[in-house]
Amino acid sequence: MPERKFTKNPNRFSHKTRPFGGASRPPFKRGPFKPNSFGKKGGFAQKSFSDVSKFINKAVITEEVEKFVPEHKFNDFTLTSEVKANITAKGYTDPTPIQDRAIPHVLRGSDVVGIANTGTGKTGAFLIPLINKMVVNRGQRDNRVLIMVPTRELATQINDEFKGFAKGLQLYSTVCVGGANINPQMSELRRKPQFVIGTPGRLKDLLERKALTLGDFKTAVLDEADRMLDMGFINDMRQILKLLPAPRHTLFFSATLNREVEGLIGEFLHEPVRISVKTRDTSATIDQDIVRVPRGTDKLEVLHNLLNQPGFDKVLVFGRTKHGVEKLSKKLVERGFKAESIHGNKTQGKRQKALDLFKRDHVNILCATDVAARGLDINGVSHVINYDLPSTHEDYIHRIGRTGRAGKKGIALTFIES
């Protein structure tokens, strides 16, 4: 089982030094949670999570971005006044590192491979210049954009961003994902939206039904390409890319590079500009600690007592399986907590409803699987709890990255059974 890689040495999960509760105390305590200081003696962890670097495939030299000073303001880019107005309306003035580096190359029409952590503005890095290209080339019906992503939630999130950047520009998009009725998607495609955002499986289905043809798509974007490969979409991705006309404008965005991603880059991109602005794996704003659960102890009781403590205001709880996540959510509701769940067995509508309730603070606990939560951007998550161990280091990094965002403090806790 994947967990065994971690349980042999659970200390790898602890950025701090002492297991939650301590060996001589119960597995949980009442009262405020206070993370321990890294480097102190007398506890579980003397090592940081960097010890599991074997789980990270870093094929390029990365650039540490501690305090980033952009070379550009958004007003410096060669963008139309309408696009600049929409950027300003969203409250953006300074680009993020990946936006600062990538936007000029995308505007010039270069193929780009962008390596950056999740939550660093990759969506804006490709949407802004591509929307601008559509405005400049208004009226050209053979210059559409196909965006492939690994999950339904990420597709919806990109579409929401698109609506803000393209407001009032007479540009349209459609989301084509599984778990939702295919007929409305087919109907929207008949209107020839300029941007089609979808998951590989549903896009392939639509292509087979002849509801989608790619002859007029001159631009392709693969966002979180590494994750799509992890999820087994390699053959679908390759088949779809082969159907796109050449020459075309192709953009790859990924958190990591591996041999398969490099293979796709070599096969489908033309002399790409490689940009890496990847920061440290875990944010300095996230306190990481472990919750030690002695064997024979009811793990749900430990979670219950944690969630009752002050400060656990908006909590994302990760489980390993769809069934387990759903069961956990229901048990928490039975115990009086306001909880919801998102996982692959739920329809797109139910997943979106659960996510909206969490975002609007109508529920303060969201139980999720890795795939369902991929790419989610949720403000104000106070805690991430790894109720079940992640399968890989990259899944761990992705999970805890849902907290400590936008410079705010976050806490990540990982349950270790021992």
The pLDDT value recorded for residue 279 is 56
What's at 13, amino acid-wise? F
Tens of each residue's pLDDT in the chain, 418 residues: 343 333 334 344 444 333 333 333 333 333 333 333 222 322 223 233 333 332 222 223 233 444 566 788 888 899 999 999 999 999 888 898 899 999 999 999 999 999 887 667 889 999 999 999 999 988 676 789 999 999 888 899 999 999 999 999 999 999 999 988 999 999 999 999 999 999 999 999 999 999 999 999 999 999 988 888 877 888 899 999 999 998 999 999 988 777 888 888 998 999 999 998 865 555 667 888 888 888 888 999 999 999 999 999 999 999 999 999 999 999 999 999 999 999 988 887 888 899 999 999 999 999 999 876 666 778 889 999 999 988 777 778 778 888 887 667 889 999 987 7
The pLDDT value recorded for residue 45 is 31
The pLDDT value recorded for residue 375 is 65
Query: Which candidate, 156, 155, 88, 185, places its Cα nearest to that of 128?
Result: 88
The pLDDT value recorded for residue 68 is 60
Which three-class secondary structure string do you get for 334-384?
HCCCCEEEECCCCCHHHHHHHHHHHHCCCCCEEEECHHHHCCCCCCCCCEE
Number of neighbouring beta carbons within 10 Å of residue 30 = 10
Structure tokens at 374: 């991929």
The pLDDT value recorded for residue 328 is 96
Between CA 282 and CA 156 the distance in angstroms is 25
Domain annotation for the chain: domains and CATH numbers:
4-56+284-417 (3.40.50.300), 74-276 (3.40.50.300)
Between CA 279 and CA 300 the distance in angstroms is 35
Which residue is associated with the tokens 């029409």?
109
The pLDDT value recorded for residue 287 is 86
Structure tokens at 327: 């069961």
pTM over 0.75: no
The pLDDT value recorded for residue 52 is 32
